[in-house]
Amino acid sequence: MATVIDKYPKSGDEIRKAFLDFYEKKAHKVIPSSSLIPDDPTVLLTIAGMLPFKSIFLGLKDKPSNRATSSQKCIRTNDIENVGVTARHHTFFEMLGNFSFGDYFKRDAIEWAWQLVTNVYHLDRKNIVISVFDKDTESKKIWEENIGIEPDKIIQLGEKDNFWSSGPTGPCGPCSELYYDFYPERGMNNIDLDDDDRFIEFYNLVFMQYNRDSSGALTDLKYKNIDTGMGLERMAQILQKKKNNYETDLIFPIIEKASQLSKVDYFSANSSQKASLKILGDHTRAIIHLISDGVIASNLGRGYILRRLLRRMIRHGKLLGIKDKFISQLALVGIQLMKNTYPELQNNSQRIFSEIDIEEQRFLNTLERGEKLLNEIIASGVKLISGTQAFELYDTYGFPLELTKEILDEKNIEVDLKGFEREMNSQRERAKAASQTVDLTLEGSIERDIELFEKTNFVGYELLNTEGNIKGIFINSNSVENASQGETVQVVLNQTSFYAESGGQIGDVGVIISDNAEILVEKVIKKKDVFLHYGIIQRGSIKINQLVETRVDKSKRVKAESNHTATHLLQSALKLVVDESVSQRGSMVAFNKLRFDFNSPNPVSENQILDIEKLVNKWILENHSIS
Ligand code: GLY
């Protein structure tokens, strides 16, 4: 009889599938990856597999089942300088995870992790080293007694290494990590788990049992939970026996394409060329997913992260000697590699290519001018450039600060970072004063508490004035029972006639009023259908459960609606006058103005602008009814 040789998981796809299958058999519900844009205002991007489950851990949301497993796309940019330099720092990565919501805890999590890595991935136990939180004797005991790990292979570490949280506040707990040891024959004396050449941490088991509040205090979560993270790229490195994550089948095809375009062979490249190729491999994966999930390059927040990644790619392409635009060609390889797991990449591919193309062209144009200025600075022989100069390079010539630093670093020239920060802050202030956009960064406990409210009943399409009950009051984002004259507050009501800012249209302004109080409402935003009214108490005081009337300023509402309608007219006119392919990239609707961002293959001429104006004015005068 022919012997059947088990096919052990090896490719990235096989590793991912084996993980999800293993936990599915252990009654875990397989949950598809969430977007990189989290439903959580405290973080810009999804940075861990647990993020989509954060409100479940906090007990704020119902659980999909007692157990879940997922392969989650993640982006971390805090270590971007290390990407391409170390063996396994990435911006984009996939995190495999198994989760228990108040169901199993330490013992099962450890036993199953062990079964998975030894029976499914077939790692040899001699290659595995464990770390535990030094105060967590229970986990140490399970590893020793239930799994039989030799005590010298269990390393006890402190809070810095083995206490995991997704941010300064939120769910957290002690953790235990599995490391792969490439050289077990070297023995366990004086080992350093941070030695990247010898060890790779590949599976983190978090015993998530606390919530940390903004003062740093820990309270017990309602349940004891499990949150784990296994880096797919790391497991691929181990099973494919590669020197680093970049050489695995998850990334290397992109590097090969970059190699082909630049004619720089990866294996014979010098170390800085190698780093550039790895950066291209890494960043390609990040940008295609960011754009696919809806991020557009800009100078703020996620848009800035995308812009920075794209610009780093262009610069490293240049360092490798690539002359023309090239990023779309790498993106194509990235999409092909990942489209089976993430079909949205294929569906959004046209948008991905067009966003890359626009941003690449824009940057190439400014880069040329900026490089001239930088060369002048270098030639002048200075040892430090001022914050103002660095800011000019950033603001006028599109040079991200990191890029300026990177280039000047090579010439031993320093940048006045504090000065840069000052310039940046004053620009932010100017931008704030100049536009009426809403600050969506909700701090303190408001972000947690807002989830506790019922959805606000919005009646503002039919009524400008209505009655509502005060359900929540926040001062400086902290929940309070009452507030009085002069205080700046955010108020949640069970019902409102105030339209909340959304889709680029400004929210209503007006007053919330009762016999003994009046709040001047300056802006309204909504978070998961809960409306937050921002305002100042002009008179009297308010308290929870007080009945109030909401009165929208009608003249402002009409202006906002007119400007909103005008964006539609403008878009139609642009299509007729400029090009049918004009597409909207964003818009801002305020009371006194509107802004409409669009893509167009050609610049818009003076004459075309006049034609557009005429057309829009004609349509306005025709006085159509609106539906
Ligand atoms: N949430 C576990 C980890 O990211 O390591």
Is the predicted pLDDT of residue 219 greater than 80, yes or no?
yes
Nearest to 440 by CA among 490, 512, 511, 484: 490
- Superfamily of domain 561-622 in CATH is Threonyl-trna Synthetase; Chain A, domain 2 (3.30.980.10)
Average pLDDT value for residue range 348-364: 93
Q: H-type helices in 478-605, by residue range?
A: 554-577
* Cα–Cα distance list, 455 to 458, 474, 490, 491 (Å): 9, 17, 16, 14
With 0-12 CB in 10 A as exposed, 13-18 as middle and 19+ as buried, what is 37? middle
User: Which is more confident, 304 or 188?
Assistant: 188
Most confident of 131-135, 451-455, 552-556: 131-135
Q: Is ligand 1 within 6 A of the CB of residue 208?
A: no
pLDDT digits (tens, 9 = 90+) for 7-49: 799 999 999 999 999 999 999 999 999 999 988 777 789 999 9
Q: Tell me, using a 6 A CB cutoff, whether residue 226 lines ligand 1.
A: no
Instruction: Identify the sign of the CA torsion 575, 572, 588, 526.
Output: negative
Please give the distance, rounded to the nearest whole angstrom, from the Cα atom of residue 172 to the centre of ligand 1. 10
Q: Return the bridge partners of 228, or none.
A: 205
* CB of residue 227 inside a 6 A radius of ligand 1: yes
The pLDDT of residue 440 is 29
- CB of 370 within 8 A of CB of 397? yes
At residue 431, the pLDDT reads 56
Both ends of the chain: CA-CA distance in Å? 74
Percent over 70 (pLDDT), the chain: 95
pLDDT of residue 601 exceeding 80, the answer is no
Does residue 222 sit in helix, strand or coil? strand
Q: Look at residues 257, 209, 201 and name the one whose alpha carbon lies nearest to residue 89.
A: 201
Q: Domain 12-239 is of which CATH architecture?
A: 2-Layer Sandwich (3.30)
- Rounded Cα distance, 110 and 537, in Å: 54
Q: How many whole angstroms separate alpha carbon 577 and alpha carbon 573?
A: 6
Give the number of the atom of ligand 1 that is nearest the alpha carbon of residue 227.
1
pLDDT tens digits, 458-505: 999 889 999 999 999 988 777 788 899 988 899 999 999 999 988 677
pTM of the model: 0.66
Q: Is the CB of 48 under 6 A from ligand 1?
A: yes
Asked if the model's pLDDT at residue 360 lies above 80, the reply is: yes
Contact in structure between 528 and 41 (CB atoms under 8 Å): no
Mean pLDDT (the chain, rounded): 89
| pLDDT tens column, 418-437 | 999 999 888 777 655 543 32
Say yes or no to pLDDT of 438 above 50. no
- Asked if residue 161 has its Cβ within 6 Å of ligand 1, the reply is no
Query: Mean pLDDT across the stretch 363-375?
Result: 84
Give dist(CA 456, CA 473) in Å, integer: 14
Res. 444 pLDDT band, cuts 50 70 90:
very low
- The verdict on the CB of residue 204 being under 6 Å from ligand 1 is yes
Task: Tell me which of 18-27, 150-159, 272-281, 618-627 is least confident.
Answer: 618-627
**Every domain of the chain and the residues it spans:** 12-239, 251-365, 380-440, 446-552, 561-622
- 619: closest CA among 583, 556, 567, 584? 567
- Average of per-residue pLDDT across 536-553: 93
Residue nearest to atom 3 of ligand 1 (CA): 229
Give the atom of ligand 1 at the shortest distance from the alpha carbon of 166.
1
Q: What is the CATH number of domain 446-552?
A: 2.40.30.130
Ligand 1 contact via 229 beta carbon (within 6 Å)? yes
Tokens 């060890």 map to which residue? 199
pLDDT of residue 447: 63
**Mean pLDDT, residues 73-85:** 85
Of residues 569 and 169, more confidence is placed in 569
